């Protein structure tokens, strides 16, 4: 079946602009995760959704970051007033249930100029 998909695959934006990243998890997967992969920080966890609910948003790097999930499926990660340090690959993963095996999407490579 189809894996996790993410769009766009690449995004170049100017500092100060808002960006929206999309994740489409594997059908039927209730748990959805966002991670960020950058050279200096490695792979870091951002936020988790169980269904449409994100119980803890403390992993988000700043209040410029927000995320939502609708219909227990698609999720969007929004970064407002982007900064150069936001440049990274943003990865989405889903699992059938919490604490299950996570399957990753191809990521969105974000470059903030």
Is the CB of 10 or the CB of 83 nearer to other proteins? Answer: 10
Torsion of CA 112, 8, 91, 71, to 10 degrees: 130
Nearest distance from residue 51's CB to other proteins, in Å?
Answer: 13
CA distance 85 to 26: 30
Other residues' Cβ atoms within 10 Å of the Cβ of residue 111: 13
- Which chain residues interact with other proteins by CB under 8 A? 31, 33, 35, 42-45, 48, 55-56, 59, 91, 93, 95, 98-107
CA distance 44 to 34: 9
Nearest distance from residue 37's CB to other proteins, in Å?
Answer: 9
Counting every residue written for the chain, the total comes to: 113
Is the CB of 56 or the CB of 63 nearer to other proteins? Answer: 56
Nearest distance from residue 64's CB to other proteins, in Å?
Answer: 21
């Amino acid at each position: 079946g189809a894996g996790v998909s993410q769009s766009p695959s690449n995004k170049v934006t100017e500092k100060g602009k808002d960006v929206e990243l999309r994740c489409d998890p594997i059908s039927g997967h209730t748990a959805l995760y966002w991670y960020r992969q950058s050279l200096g920080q490695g792979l870091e966890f951002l936020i988790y959704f169980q269904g449409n609910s994100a119980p803890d948003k403390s992993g988000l790097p700043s209040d410029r970051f927000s995320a939502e999930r609708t219909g227990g499926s698609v999720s969007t990660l929004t970064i407002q007033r982007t900064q150069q340090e936001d440049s990274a690959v943003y990865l989405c993963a889903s699992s059938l249930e919490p604490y299950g095996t996570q399957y990753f999407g191809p990521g969105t490579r974000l470059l903030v100029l």
